Amino acid sequence: MIEERNAKEEIIEIMEKCIKCGLCKELCPVFKLIREEQYSPRGHAILLSNKIFDKIVFDCSLCKACEEKCPLDLKICTAIRKARQVLNLREKENPELKNIKDKIINGEGAFS
Ligand code: SF4
Ligand code: SF4
């Protein structure tokens, strides 16, 4: 619990500084492909600064392209990595979450 709380605090500290300028968006290979805001670095910043920890954080290659153009030099990859840790910790505490995720990945449907 303390581990999760510390990680969350660090993530929010990074992401809440985002000024939502969008300079990072067009550099992101995932956003270029999917064209949905939540997959962009700015989208990650908005979600995570609002304490929304979604599996979308795994849809990032950690390429750091976004960090190159960020005027605030935000450590976006660090925040995304830590958000993955938070989700992994939650899975450990609640194995049923992992079962559901595995079923989705295997195409079995979450509740079959
Ligand atoms: S690190 Fe992630 S969010 Fe940033 S540009 Fe690369 S894929 Fe996009
Ligand atoms: S470039 Fe930096 S400040 Fe601008 S939207 Fe992207 S993460 Fe936020």
The domains located in the chain, with CATH, are 2-105 (1.10.1060.10)
Q: Report whether 63 contacts 29 (CB < 8 A).
A: yes
Q: What is the Cα–Cα distance from 24 to 64, expressed in whole angstroms?
A: 10
Ligand 2 atom 3, closest CA: 18
Please list the ranges in the chain whose pLDDT falls under 50. Answer: 112
User: How much is the pTM?
Assistant: 0.85
The per-residue pLDDT for 105 is: 67
The per-residue pLDDT for 106 is: 76
- Residue 4 CA to ligand 2 centre (angstroms): 25
Query: Is the shortest distance between the CB of 56 and ligand 1 below 6 Å?
Result: no
Judge residue 31's burial from the number of C-beta atoms within 10 Å of its C-beta, 0-12 exposed, 13-18 middle, 19 or more buried: buried
- Residue 24 CA to ligand 2 centre (angstroms): 6
